[in-house]
């Protein structure tokens, strides 16, 4: 019997070469194992993008994963792709540095290539192959014949050394290739270089050649029909069995034998990456851990004022573990960033699992007291799990976050810190569209398809490509259409390009560019690594997330305004807890503008949940998420809160985990712990589950996990209903759920926003208006809500408004002044010139204003006049007087007449009436500080039997009623089975209307486009939550003002 053939595939690239490879690394690893190939080298084009995933997959199936890349190199023959394999850690580091150097030289999306001199510099530890038809040997041969090829080979030998250059042979049944191979063999024999057979793999199986062809078309912006010879000649670049390779290369057995020999030589794998987190430069003589202990102790004293035994014990336990895991440096570095933010007045708060750690709390990284909240530290860091801690920092979005990021770049150097990447993959709509283009569908069909294929969510069993295509009018029995459908499905989850992750940063001891190649991001000054956050975690690279949060900016601005106008200091870390006056309005769902609890769905559950202490808010934040809603956890939880149903557990073993949430899982950690307890998941498996639940979950992964869960539960004797219930809990969390610690951090911000809104309404409203757009409501709704709570708001006035909304004293009260930022079409720089000029000397007339602020265009002046901002400029003018004047002031005069001041005479125009003022206000600013449009028409409404929002709240359940008002939000959440939630606003508050899908179909126009409507229906008044279920809708002719509704379809 002959010995089975031995062959290692040493030249393969995956879909992570972005449109130049057709299979995922995992599929390639699995296929290798199935074909009895002991090792494979994963060489992406100009990067190591897919290497971590290939490494992890290879470990799982027990094959050896070699690392390398195809590097584009420019020489006198042109650009060639040179395959390089990493023999040692030094080789890998050199490859990373080489790629970083070439990538950072050119802007993102530009072709990068290395120079010969750079190859010489970074050659150590690398083995070079001569490549395929785009390799240096073939390129030289095509350009200059055998002599040029010899020259190229000689140069490669001089760069990498004779032992490190392999003459590569591929056989794809192509005449031209065979002719090249003949020359290559001759040259190899002549120069005594080893031959190496590879298959230049681009995909796992021959059928993926179709994916490859589609990618080629997408890359070249062609259609299949006209791509011609850009497409592959045949489908031979798949993973071939060793026997097949041996047969094809029967005439050159040494080329096959050398593959195993070289594979044995390549020692390096990603296991020994050589990543080290940077050390923190400790002042004085002590070690990092000693310094951390001192800082934590000192911080804890500041936080708790007095250290209880429980706190001290916890602190000691955590610090001991940090010492054992050698993570002191990491904590100190995050502490350093937080300290920088504090010193520079940037509000910062940690979220994520870090909120479970008392050390983080003591260091000021997080603001949730884990001892008081009884959060489990082990979820953040544990010795057994071998996971790395994950600290996320929330920063005010915009410039301040950028400042913190730049601080890290500056502190660790451009090559020592970078953002993590985000791999954009083909999902439903993108795949349908791009593949459609490649198949040459007309624009109309493409539009129809994209409109029909849902976004990122697979919402239900009917949301399949088959159904989408059938409803778009495509005939699935036609081969071309069937192929199209097939390819759309096959493209799912394949990477398309790399973008920047919103906030993840990695830093490294020494040079990050020797750990992973860096490349430029689209944003200038930003650098990203070639791996995404999961890859970084797999490679045990610690990341810090710096995320931007609009509400952080609001909190910070509020604190500044409170200091300036109320003369009080607010410390967010020490807000008075559990104040009834704060929870009162929250329980009544009076939460417009408050972080996370202002949406319609949140408002509808607040009176039922009835939060009275901080932990109630934590559950509230987690409650209204697609996960708990579709998993049908929200209603049981609320019923249990109201003691309308008993607290039960799917299985007695789950009681300790679910006790705090009344037997209903609401947090991600609970799901993970359920999997660990019921189905014997190990720490690593639970971590895998957590990732599968992440936002880029794949159907395949979820199915595998479900299988594992059921098997585990069967082992533990959990079957039947309990098993189904638990699986249902866990798999529905795939549609997003919050971790408890994350909820706690958000709840803290929610509480802070509620606290500021209730105690310092003027400051909070001004800050909220200055940070728009954010949240759920339009500025107009925010102003109207604040007015109903007693805040006096004053209109924009060029004699006193700044760019931002400000606070003023008026009759002993603090009032809000709307800022010039709300004037439509006014540039910030122009407004600032106006304010500076006004500070120099007040304006005496509209003429004076127009002359001294020449940046104000005619349109700006007219806009200011029409919203009444010029009314107070000298004498009392009405808006039309001002408009009449600015119409003249806008005509620029020559230098001779520039100083001639004309008096402001009254105009022939009549003053605006109420309706005209409303129209002008909404047209010019999007809001009004005057009475609500409905207020003017209340007597008429009463005559028509239309109730106000306040009246509706008093109506008993089941009674018919009619309400009228201005539509401020329309929402059609994916989780609500097609129901539309509409909010109507009038001068007394908001009324909530529910619109059923049937009713919507009959009244589409009124529901979607009318600004003012009257709706009749049945009152649903339960547990203090009042809704009107619509039965008829009519437009109301109240005002022609352009009041905008915030719609979420």
Q: Which residues bind another protein (CB under 8 A)?
A: 172-176, 179, 209-210, 213, 224, 226, 228-229, 231, 233-236, 439, 442-444, 447, 478-480, 483-484, 862, 865-866, 880, 883-884, 887-888, 891, 908-910, 912, 916, 920, 1004-1006, 1008-1009
Indicate the length of the chain as a whole number.
1049
How buried is residue 550: exposed, middle or buried, by Cβ count under 10 Å (0-12/13-18/19+)?
Answer: middle
Q: Which is nearer to another protein, 79 or 227 (CB)?
A: 227
Cβ 902 to another protein shortest distance, Å: 10
Q: Which is nearer to another protein, 683 or 890 (CB)?
A: 890
Integer CA distances (angstroms), 53 to 7, 48, 57, in order: 22, 10, 6
Query: What is the Cα–Cα distance from 624 to 976, expressed in whole angstroms?
Result: 12
Cβ 780 to another protein shortest distance, Å: 20
Cβ 173 to another protein shortest distance, Å: 4
186: phi then psi, degrees, rounded to nearest 5: -60, -45
Helix (H, G, I), strand (E, B) or coil at 1029: strand
Per-residue exposure over 451-486, b if at least 16 CB sit within 10 Å of its own CB, e if not = ebbeeeebeeeeeebeebbeebebeeeeeeeeebbe
Query: What is the Cα–Cα distance from 350 to 392, expressed in whole angstroms?
Result: 5
79: phi then psi, degrees, rounded to nearest 5: -100, 130
Q: Please give the helix or strand (H or E) that residue 392 lies within, else none.
A: strand 391-396
Per-residue exposure over 63-88, b if at least 16 CB sit within 10 Å of its own CB, e if not = bbbbbbbbbbbbbebeebbbbbbbbb
For residue 100, give the nearest of 700, 528, 710, 597 by alpha carbon.
528
Cβ 786 to another protein shortest distance, Å: 28
Cβ 925 to another protein shortest distance, Å: 14
CA-derived radius of gyration, the chain: 34
Query: What is the Cα–Cα distance from 545 to 261, expressed in whole angstroms?
Result: 43
Cβ 208 to another protein shortest distance, Å: 12
Which tokens go with 1038? 């109240």
Cβ 274 to another protein shortest distance, Å: 44
Q: Which is nearer to another protein, 170 or 530 (CB)?
A: 170
Query: What is the Cα–Cα distance from 204 to 201, expressed in whole angstroms?
Result: 7
Which tokens go with 797? 């006035």
Is residue 767 within 8 A of residue 378, CB to CB? The reply is no
Q: Which is nearer to another protein, 117 or 226 (CB)?
A: 226
75: phi then psi, degrees, rounded to nearest 5: -135, -165
* Alpha carbon of residue 457 to chain centroid: 15
Give CA torsion, residues 301, 304, 306, 310, to 10 deg.
-110
Cβ 228 to another protein shortest distance, Å: 3
Is residue 112 within 8 A of residue 46, CB to CB? The reply is yes
Cβ 224 to another protein shortest distance, Å: 5
Cβ 750 to another protein shortest distance, Å: 37
Q: What is the sign, positive or negative, of the torsion defined by CA atoms of 811, 812, 816, 817?
A: positive
Query: What is the Cα–Cα distance from 83 to 991, expressed in whole angstroms?
Result: 66
Scanning the structure block, which residue is given the tokens 């019997």?
1
Cβ 827 to another protein shortest distance, Å: 19
* Alpha carbon of residue 708 to chain centroid: 29
Which tokens go with 983? 């909010």
Helix (H, G, I), strand (E, B) or coil at 615: helix
Helix (H, G, I), strand (E, B) or coil at 601: helix
Q: Which is nearer to another protein, 155 or 483 (CB)?
A: 483
Scanning the structure block, which residue is given the tokens 């149903």?
645
Cβ 914 to another protein shortest distance, Å: 13
Query: What is the Cα–Cα distance from 869 to 882, expressed in whole angstroms?
Result: 9
For residue 42, give the nearest of 270, 195, 208, 231 by alpha carbon.
270
Cβ 866 to another protein shortest distance, Å: 5
136: phi then psi, degrees, rounded to nearest 5: -60, -35
Q: Which is nearer to another protein, 106 or 909 (CB)?
A: 909
Query: What is the Cα–Cα distance from 741 to 502, expressed in whole angstroms?
Result: 20
Cβ 963 to another protein shortest distance, Å: 22
Cβ 202 to another protein shortest distance, Å: 15
Is residue 886 within 8 A of residue 861, CB to CB? The reply is yes
For residue 556, give the nearest of 828, 705, 345 by alpha carbon.
345
Query: What is the Cα–Cα distance from 73 to 81, expressed in whole angstroms?
Result: 6
570: phi then psi, degrees, rounded to nearest 5: -115, 125
Query: What is the Cα–Cα distance from 168 to 175, expressed in whole angstroms?
Result: 17
Cβ 825 to another protein shortest distance, Å: 12
Cβ 364 to another protein shortest distance, Å: 52
| Beta-strand runs (E) in 407-459 | 417-425
Cβ 236 to another protein shortest distance, Å: 7
């Amino acid at each position: 019997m002959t010995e089975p053939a031995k062959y290692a595939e040493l030249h393969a690239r995956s879909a992570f070469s972005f449109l130049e490879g057709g299979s995922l690394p995992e599929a390639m690893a699995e296929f290798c194992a199935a074909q009895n190939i002991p090792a494979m080298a994963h060489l992406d084009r100009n990067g190591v993008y897919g290497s971590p995933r290939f490494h992890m997959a290879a470990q799982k199936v027990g094959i050896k994963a070699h690392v390398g890349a195809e590097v584009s190199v420019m020489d006198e023959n042109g650009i060639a792709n040179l395959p390089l394999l990493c023999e040692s850690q030094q080789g890998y580091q050199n490859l990373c540095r080489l790629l970083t150097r070439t990538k950072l030289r050119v802007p993102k999306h530009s072709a990068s290539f290395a120079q010969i001199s750079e190859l010489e510099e970074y050659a150590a530890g690398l083995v070079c192959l001569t490549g395929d038809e785009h390799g240096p040997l073939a390129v030289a041969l095509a350009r200059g014949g055998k002599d040029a090829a010899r020259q190229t080979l000689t140069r490669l030998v001089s760069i990498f050394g004779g032992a490190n250059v392999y003459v590569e042979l591929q056989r794809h049944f192509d005449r031209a290739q065979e002719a090249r191979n003949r020359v290559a063999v001759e040259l190899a024999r002549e120069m005594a270089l080893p031959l190496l057979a590879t298959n230049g793999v681009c995909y796992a199986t021959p059928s993926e050649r179709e994916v490859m062809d589609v990618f080629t078309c997408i890359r070249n912006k062609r259609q299949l029909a006209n791509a011609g010879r850009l497409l592959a000649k045949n489908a031979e670049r798949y993973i071939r069995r060793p026997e097949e390779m041996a047969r094809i290369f029967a005439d050159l057995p040494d080329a096959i034998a050398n593959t195993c020999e070289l594979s044995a030589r390549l020692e390096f794998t990603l296991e020994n990456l050589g990543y080290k987190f940077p050390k923190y430069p400790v002042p004085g003589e002590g070690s990092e851990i000693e310094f951390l202990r001192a800082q934590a102790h000192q911080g804890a004293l500041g936080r708790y004022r007095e250290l209880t035994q429980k706190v001290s014990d916890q602190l000691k336990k955590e610090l001991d573990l940090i010492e054992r895991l050698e993570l002191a440096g990491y904590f100190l570095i995050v502490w350093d960033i937080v300290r920088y933010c504090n010193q520079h007045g940037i509000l910062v708060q940690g979220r994520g699992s870090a909120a479970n750690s008392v050390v983080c709390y003591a260091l000021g990284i997080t603001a949730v007291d884990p001892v008081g909240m009884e959060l489990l530290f082990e979820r953040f860091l544990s010795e057994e799990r071998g996971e790395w801690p994950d600290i996320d920092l929330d920063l005010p979005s915009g410039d301040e976050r950028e400042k913190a990021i730049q601080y890290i770049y500056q502190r660790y150097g451009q090559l020592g810190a970078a953002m993590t990447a985000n791999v954009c993959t083909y999902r439903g709509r993108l795949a349908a569209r791009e593949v459609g283009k490649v198949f040459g569908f007309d624009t109309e069909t493409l539009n129809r398809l994209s409109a029909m294929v849902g976004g990122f969510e697979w919402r239900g069993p009917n949301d399949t490509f088959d159904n989408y295509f059938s409803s778009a009018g495509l005939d699935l029995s036609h081969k071309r259409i069937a192929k199209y459908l097939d390819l759309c499905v096959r493209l799912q989850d394949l990477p398309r390009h790399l973008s920047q992750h919103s906030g993840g940063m990695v830093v490294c001891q020494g040079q990050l560019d020797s750990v992973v190649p860096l490349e430029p991001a689209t944003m200038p000054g930003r650098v990203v690594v070639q791996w995404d956050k999961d890859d970084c975690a797999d490679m045990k690279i610690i990341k810090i997330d710096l995320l931007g949060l609009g509400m952080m900016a609001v909190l910070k601005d509020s604190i500044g305004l409170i200091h300036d106008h109320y003369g009080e200091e607010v410390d967010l870390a020490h807000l008075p807890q559990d104040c009834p006056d704060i929870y009162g309005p929250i329980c009544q769902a009076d939460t417009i503008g408050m972080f996370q609890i202002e949406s319609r769905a949140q408002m509808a559950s607040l009176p039922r949940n009835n939060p009275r202490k901080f932990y109630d808010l934590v559950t509230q934040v987690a409650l209204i998420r697609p996960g708990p809603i579709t998993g049908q956890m929200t209603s049981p939880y609320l019923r249990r809160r109201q003691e309308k149903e008993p607290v039960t557990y799917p299985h007695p073993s789950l009681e300790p985990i679910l006790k705090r949430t009344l037997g209903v899982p609401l947090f991600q950690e609970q799901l993970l712990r359920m999997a660990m307890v019921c189905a014997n998941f190990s720490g690593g498996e639970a971590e895998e589950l957590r990732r599968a639940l992440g936002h880029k979950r794949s159907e395949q992964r979820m199915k595998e996990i479900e299988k594992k869960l059921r098997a585990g539960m069967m082992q533990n004797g959990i079957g039947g209903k309990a098993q189904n219930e638990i699986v249902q809990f866990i798999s529905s969390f795939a549609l997003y759920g919050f971790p408890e610690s994350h909820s706690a951090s958000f709840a803290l911000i929610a509480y802070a926003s509620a606290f500021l809104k209730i105690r310092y309404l003027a400051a909070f409203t001004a800050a909220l208006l200055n940070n728009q757009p954010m949240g759920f409501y339009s500025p107009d709704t925010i102003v109207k809500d604040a007015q109903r709570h007693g805040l006096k708001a004053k209109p924009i006035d060029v004699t006193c408004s700044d760019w931002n909304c400000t606070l003023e004293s008026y009759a002993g009260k603090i009032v809000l002044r709307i800022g010039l930022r709300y004037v439509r079409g006014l540039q910030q720089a122009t407004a600032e010139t106006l304010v500076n000029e006004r500070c120099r000397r007040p304006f005496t007339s509209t003429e004076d204003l127009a002359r001294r602020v020449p940046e104000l265009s005619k349109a700006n002046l007219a806009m200011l006049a029409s919203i009444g901002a010029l009314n107070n400029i000298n004498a009392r003018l009405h808006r039309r007087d001002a408009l009449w004047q600015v119409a003249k002031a806008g005509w620029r005069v020559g230098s001779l007449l520039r100083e001639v001041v004309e008096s402001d005479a009254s105009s022939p125009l009549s003053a605006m009436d109420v309706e005209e003022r409303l129209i002008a206000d909404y047209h010019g600013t999007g809001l009004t500080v005057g009475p609500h449009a409905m207020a003017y028409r209340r007597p008429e409404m009463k005559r028509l039997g239309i109730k106000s929002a306040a009246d509706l709240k008093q109506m008993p359940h089941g009674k018919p009623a009619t309400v009228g008002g201005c539509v401020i939000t329309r929402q059609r959440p994916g989780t609500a089975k097609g129901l539309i939630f509409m909010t109507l606003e009038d001068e007394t508050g908001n009324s909530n209307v529910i619109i059923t899908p049937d009713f919507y179909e009959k009244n589409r126009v009124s529901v979607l486009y009318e600004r003012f409507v009257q709706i009749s229906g049945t009152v649903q008044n339960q547990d203090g939550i009042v809704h009107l279920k619509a039965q008829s809708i009519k437009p109301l002719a109240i005002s022609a003002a352009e009041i905008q509704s915030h719609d979420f379809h």
